[in-house]
Amino acid sequence: MEFFRIRRDIPFMKHALVFNVISIITFALAVFFLAHRGLNYSIEFTGGVVIEAEYPQPVNLEGVRDALIKSGIGEPQVQNFGSARTVAIRLADKDANIPSFVSPDPNIKKNTFDRDKFAAIAIAPGGADGKILRVEVVGPQVGKELASDGGLALLLVCIGIMGYLALRFEWKFSVAAIIANMHDVVIILGFFAFFQWEFSLSVLAAVLAVLGYSVNESVVVFDRVRETFKKRRALAVPEVINHAITSTISRTIITHGCTQLMVTSMLFLGGPTLHYFALALTIGILFGIYSSVLVASPIVMWLGISRADLIKPEKKKDVNDGAVV
Amino acid sequence: MNRYPTWKYLIVAIALLAGLLYTLPNFFGSTPAVQVTAKTSAGIKLDEPARAKVESALATAKVPSTGVTLDSHGIRARFADEDTQLKAKTVIESALVPDKNLDDAPYSIALSLLSNSPEWLTKVNALPMYLGLDLRGGVHFLYQVDMKQALTKRLDSLSGDLRSQMRQKNIRHAGIDRTPAGILMKFRDDATRILAKNLINDNFTELQTVEGTDGSDLTLVANLKPESIRKVQENAIQQNISTFNKRINATGVAEPIIQQQGADRIVVELPGVQDPSKIKELLGRTASLELRMVCESPEEISAAVGGAVPFGCEKYPSKTSGSGFELVRKRVELTGDRLTDAQPGFDGQTQEPAVHLTLDAAGAATFKELTRENVNKRMAILLLEKNKGEVVTAPVIRSEIAGGRVQISGAMTSAEANNVAILLRSGALAAPMEIVEERTIGPSQGKANIEKGFHSTWVGFSLIAVFMIIYYLLFGVISVMALGANLLFLVALLSLLQATLTLPGIAAIALTLGMAIDANVLINERVREELRGGATPQAAITAGYERAFGTILDSNVTTLIAGLALLIFGSGPIRGFAVVHCLGILTSIFSSVVVSRGLVNLIYGSRRKLAKLSIGQVWKPGAGNGAEVAAKPAAR
């Protein structure tokens, strides 16, 4: 079986402008939604309380919410997760600190959230047999650190990847690859802002993993660009890039298809905890293919890549630099 | 050409065998159990009658067990599920400790998970992966240590020492006060100030001094040096961790994790525990002892008669005082830090219940001096628990007491004396702490997480396998075997390192597998391309593997950079993800390149006249349908 039977190089670079315009529009939309709606941070970042409860029968979410509001708690967010019998109740940090729900903890001279009282009220509307599956209480200061650590990690990944690509190829490639892949990150975040999906620590991990992963794509294409420059001296720069993309496209699609098979399996079978993780990966993989091939390559072209940039004057052995698909 | 030397085959074979060996324990699973061990301090041994007692207690209570065994670790009773395990714990507790006083029982009775893997695997250190809280249920706390308080406490104690040393050395100061960040000393003349400064430089190496003036007085401000601040903070964390350890061990929770995180945080993870409030209470408990003088100068008494609390004094409840409270000075003469032991007992003369305290050398010296200088005055012994103080007793000092042995008695029952002694002995927390993160995961939730995680990984793996085999035929089979080897290596490595497997860790395993197939796709596509270009099958294999390797390396390095960044900056769940991700990248390079090449060599390497590779259809432009005559192979 062979999916890709391409006779001629596809003239991708003819449409370079179109690809980039599409990209810029998506990017702008993502930035707009990020600024306008913001991310729906999980309580790991904001501080607050999450309780996951399981009821004997499917429970009316409004009933749970009303019972909580009646008891004086602020604005609880009540949602099903996994099944109709399991409910997640989220409470922002400010709501978790209302006076009727905190009891003074004599050990620390400070008030702490009364989780038992909260749990009892949350369980009541579904009958007495409800069970608390998970409780999480996070103070706001932890979240601030997580956010800044996340930013630092992102920065380190960018610097590391740019440095490696500059060393292995040329600075123009590293600039193009990082622009393409950062724009993926912004687009993933844009999706999370638009749909107000919960942005948790595992989503952050997925975003960073995607960054490392989709750079691969650019690496594979760039490797082939270098090889083509060497082997076929007659070709002009856009033709070289077209050839490189065309001859790697089969591998690109198959690889990403395989990764996506695994991710899809996590998306549907991995349960609520892995759902958004897999969702972030899915968006990352789809946009990763697009951007690292069709955005990074035109940028390299516009940055003025030339044969001289890649082929060093001294002659090297062919085996060493012929590393390509 | 396409043959490995024997040693290379051997390496692959050994790696696979080792992988299998260390992965094996994970398949046996584990059984919920209740473990009874003898406390070392109790000096007893668990024997066959004790085992029989446990067994019969379980039988009487109709709690079905799958075996009660006795070995060098103690008695282990295994159960079919967690619910039975919890019930059994209660039954065993009431059988072995009829008076329900678990703190003082000679046994500790703990919930634990026992691996079902056979003995010989355990002997070669092949242990199953440790499951994180999200996979087995339990409680997680993140405590933040109040470092300001730790520093204040240290300065308090230093200023007390300084005061007494200046008195001993006869250095006449015009007042010593505590400022928020230091100790302020006032002097009438410069000569005395120099004396004081020398004393600090010689005997108080933790302090640094700054000179100044305050009106007509010369001042000397002493505060903690930066390095001693660091040391105080380190000590505070360490002391709190060891106090936690003592207290958790007393409860008999199995496999607790108590670790420092960052500069001022402590993580406590207790698998199997479902009642966080009890643990929180236990961990947060602070009991400390303070010796202070009673306010009893004439002016202080007259102020107190008017109902006011005199300056420099504090009011604490007291059971021994007629008025129900006692006025004591704010200044602390001696703290419980100086305590080396506390034992319940009885007063030698009155036969009243009492607590006998032993002080360390410095404490004994301070106590001796205190009692010498305050003969016929009253000294209050305060017990501070949960920030509530109580004057236990306030005796009159009859004479100087040397030797550092002190007895507290007065209006206590013997049970109370016992409690006070335990609290004092288990140590105080060096600084107050606050819970900044708290998580409880039910055991059923943990089980569901494991099932879902593994289920989705297997489904994803199978889908990839089916696709690869259909698309690449025999090379697909080889790729899938390499991927399987990768999974084997990864799990073996995680088990060998005894890494904690969490749900994000399982996600990382899945993602690593999904990404690792990339290397084999690269190789297979390259081999096809070589074939398309007209290379012989053997040459295509060689060229395919060689040329793909550089790309595989490049793409894995970029992924590894992202993984390392996560490892450095991540905490908690992110870290679990990052560890697996990074290890997975390393094992995938080995398995997709070395192992799969080994398989290919084994199958094809010895065939000299190889006409065809089983790698699926290799389509050549122009061939077959003949529509385009001029089409050149590949490109342009």
Q: Is A88 on the interface with B (CB under 8 A)?
A: no
Judge: A157–B561 Cβ closer than 8 Å, yes or no. yes
How far is A204 from chain B, CA to nearest CA, in Å? 8
Q: Is B438 on the interface with A (CB under 8 A)?
A: yes
Give domain A12-41+142-321's CATH architecture: Up-down Bundle (1.20)
- The torsion angle over the Cα atoms of residues B500, B92, B29 and B589, rounded to 10 degrees, is 10
**Is B435 a domain residue?**
no
How far is A50 from chain B, CA to nearest CA, in Å? 9
3-state secondary structure of B211: strand
Show the tokens assigned to B74.
């103690």
How far is A289 from chain B, CA to nearest CA, in Å? 13
Are B364 and B462 in the same domain? no
State the best of A174, A218, A259 to mutate against chain B, taking most chain B CBs within 10 Å.
A259
Q: Is A173 on the interface with B (CB under 8 A)?
A: no
3-state secondary structure chain A: CCCCCCCCCCCHHHHHHHHHHHHHHHHHHHHHHHHHCCCEECHHHHCEEEEEEECCCCCCHHHHHHHHHHCCCCCCEEEEECEEEEEEEEEEHHHHCCHHHEEEECCCCEEEECHHHHHHHHHHHHCCCCEEEEEEEECHHHHHHHHHHHHHHHHHHHHHHHHHHHHHCCHHHHHHHHHHHHHHHHHHHHHHHHCCCEECHHHHHHHHHHHHHHHHHHHHHHHHHHHHHHHCCCCCHHHHHHHHHHHHHHHHHHHHHHHHHHHHHHHHHCHHHHHHHHHHHHHHHHHHHHHHHHHHHHHHHHCCCCHHHHCCCCCCCHHHHCCCC
Residue B383 maps to which CATH number? 3.30.1360.200
Nearest to B581 by CA among A202, A261, A41, A288: A202
Per-residue model confidence as pLDDT tens digits over A164-199: 888 888 888 899 988 888 888 999 999 999 999 988
Contacts of B284 in chain A (CB under 8 A): 105, 107-108
DSSP-assigned letters across all residues of B266-278: EEEEEET---HHH
Residue A32 has pLDDT above 70, yes or no: yes
Are B10 and B57 in the same domain? no
How far is A138 from chain B, CA to nearest CA, in Å? 4
Residue scoring higher pLDDT (A124 or B41): A124
Residue written as token pair 């997480």: B449
Q: Which of residues 295-314 of A touch B (CB under 8 A)?
A: none
Q: What span, in angstroms and rounded, lies between the C-alpha atoms of B360 and B373? A: 20
Show the tokens assigned to B356.
């006998």
Q: Is B52 on the interface with A (CB under 8 A)?
A: no
Judge: B449–A168 Cβ closer than 8 Å, yes or no. no
Helices (H), ranges, B5-136: 6-23, 25-28, 48-60, 82-96, 119-123, 133-136
Residue B313 has pLDDT above 80, yes or no: yes
Q: Is A10 on the interface with B (CB under 8 A)?
A: no
Judge: A157–B557 Cβ closer than 8 Å, yes or no. no
Q: What span, in angstroms and rounded, lies between the C-alpha atoms of B282 and A69? A: 32
Per-residue model confidence as pLDDT tens digits over B581-626: 999 999 999 998 899 999 999 888 877 777 788 887 777 765 544 3
Its domain, for residue B345, covers 287-428
Residue A322 has pLDDT above 50, yes or no: no
Do residues B41 and B144 touch, judged by C-beta distance below 8 A? no
Q: How many Cβ atoms from other residues are within 10 Å of residue B342's Cβ?
A: 22
Chain B CA closest to residue A255: B518
Total tally of structural domains belonging to chain B: 4
Judge: A141–B461 Cβ closer than 8 Å, yes or no. no
Judge: B517–A259 Cβ closer than 8 Å, yes or no. yes
Do residues B404 and B364 touch, judged by C-beta distance below 8 A? yes
pLDDT at A101: 59
Nearest to B497 by CA among B435, B584, B559: B584
- Using the 3D structure, point to which of B399, B428, B457 is the last residue of a domain: B428
Q: What span, in angstroms and rounded, lies between the C-alpha atoms of A58 and A121? A: 17
What's the mean per-residue pLDDT of chain B?
A: 82
Q: List residues bridging with B297 in a β-sheet.
A: none
* B330-334, B412-416, B467-471: the lowest-pLDDT one: B412-416
Are B458 and B518 in the same domain? yes
Residue scoring higher pLDDT (B130 or B573): B130
Confidence of residue B13 (pLDDT cuts 50, 70, 90): very high
Q: Is A142 on the interface with B (CB under 8 A)?
A: yes
Judged by phi (left if over 0) then psi (alpha if -120 to 50, else beta), residue B262 lies in left
Q: CA B184, B186, B189: angle at the middle one, nearest 5?
A: 145
Residue B168: enclosing H or E segment and its boundaries? helix B147-168
Confidence of residue B215 (pLDDT cuts 50, 70, 90): confident
Residue B285 has pLDDT above 80, yes or no: no
Residue A109 has pLDDT above 50, yes or no: no
What are φ and ψ of residue A158, in 5° steps?
A: -60, -50
Average pLDDT over residues B224-228: 89
**Is B249 a domain residue?**
no
Domain ranges of chain A: 12-41+142-321, 48-138
Do residues B538 and B2 touch, judged by C-beta distance below 8 A? yes
Residue B303 has pLDDT above 80, yes or no: no
- Using the 3D structure, point to which of B206, B229, B252 is the last residue of a domain: B229
Chain B CA closest to residue A263: B511
Are B19 and B40 in the same domain? no
What are φ and ψ of residue A83, in 5° steps?
A: -140, 180
**Is B614 a domain residue?**
no
State the best of A262, A263, A321 to mutate against chain B, taking most chain B CBs within 10 Å.
A262
- Packing angle, helices B573-589 and B537-569, rounded to 10: 160
Q: Is A213 on the interface with B (CB under 8 A)?
A: yes
**Is B237 a domain residue?**
no
Are B19 and B36 in the same domain? no
What are φ and ψ of residue B139, in 5° steps?
A: -115, 150
Average pLDDT over residues B346-361: 79
The widest CA-to-CA distance across chain B, in whole angstroms, is 120
Cα dihedral sign for B155, B156, B161, B163? positive
Q: Is A318 on the interface with B (CB under 8 A)?
A: no
Residue B212 maps to which CATH number? 3.30.70
Are B15 and B42 in the same domain? no
pLDDT at B191: 87
What's the mean per-residue pLDDT of chain A?
A: 81
Q: Is B104 on the interface with A (CB under 8 A)?
A: no
Chain A CA closest to residue B578: A205
Q: Which of residues 58-87 of A touch B (CB under 8 A)?
A: none
3-state secondary structure of B307: coil
Give me the residue from A216, A235, A262 closest to B513, CB to CB: A262
Residue A245 has pLDDT above 70, yes or no: yes
Nearest to A226 by CA among A158, A265, A169: A169
Are B184 and B76 in the same domain? no
How far is B541 from chain A, CA to nearest CA, in Å? 13
State the best of B506, B518, B520 to mutate against chain A, taking most chain A CBs within 10 Å.
B518
Are B453 and B544 in the same domain? yes
Count Cα atoms within 13 angstroms, Cβ side, for B588.
Answer: 30
pTM: 0.75
State the best of A258, A260, A264, A318 to mutate against chain B, taking most chain B CBs within 10 Å.
A258
Enumerate residues 6+ apart whose C-beta is below 8 A from B285. Answer: A107, B247, B385, B386, B423
Q: Which of residues 306-345 of B touch A (CB under 8 A)?
A: none
Residue scoring higher pLDDT (B156 or A279): A279
**Is B523 a domain residue?**
yes
Q: Is A182 on the interface with B (CB under 8 A)?
A: no
Residue A100 has pLDDT above 70, yes or no: no
Number of A–B residue contacts, CB under 8 Å? 284
pLDDT at B583: 93
- Quote ipTM for the complex: 0.84
How far is A1 from chain B, CA to nearest CA, in Å? 5
Q: Are strands B182-187 and B217-224 parallel, antiparallel or unpaired?
A: antiparallel
Are B221 and B109 in the same domain? no
Judge: A208–B581 Cβ closer than 8 Å, yes or no. no
3-state secondary structure of B63: coil
How far is B445 from chain A, CA to nearest CA, in Å? 6
Is A102 buried (19+), middle (13-18) or exposed (0-12) by CB count in 10 A? middle
- Using the 3D structure, point to which of B65, B98, B115 is the last residue of a domain: B115
**Which CA distances in Å does B592 have to A65, A247, A251, B363, B522?**
52, 22, 16, 66, 10
Judge: B445–A264 Cβ closer than 8 Å, yes or no. no
Are B411 and B452 in the same domain? no
Residue B415: enclosing H or E segment and its boundaries? helix B414-425
Chain B CA closest to residue A205: B574
Confidence of residue B636 (pLDDT cuts 50, 70, 90): very low
Are B296 and B344 in the same domain? yes
Nearest to B593 by CA among B542, B539, B540, B552: B552
**Is B485 a domain residue?**
yes
Do residues A88 and A79 touch, judged by C-beta distance below 8 A? yes
The CATH fold of domain A48-138: Alpha-Beta Plaits (3.30.70)
How far is B622 from chain A, CA to nearest CA, in Å? 8
Are B163 and B85 in the same domain? no
Residue A316 has pLDDT above 60, yes or no: no
Q: Is B460 on the interface with A (CB under 8 A)?
A: yes
Give me the residue from B434, B471, B569 closest to A108, CB to CB: B434
Q: Which of residues 11-50 of A touch B (CB under 8 A)?
A: none
Residue B542 has pLDDT above 80, yes or no: yes
Cα dihedral sign for B501, B503, B507, B508? negative
Give me the residue from A2, A116, A270 closest to B616, CB to CB: A2
- What's the DSSP call for residue B172? -
State the best of B436, B467, B569 to mutate against chain A, taking most chain A CBs within 10 Å.
B569
Q: What span, in angstroms and rounded, lies between the C-alpha atoms of B384 and B497? A: 44
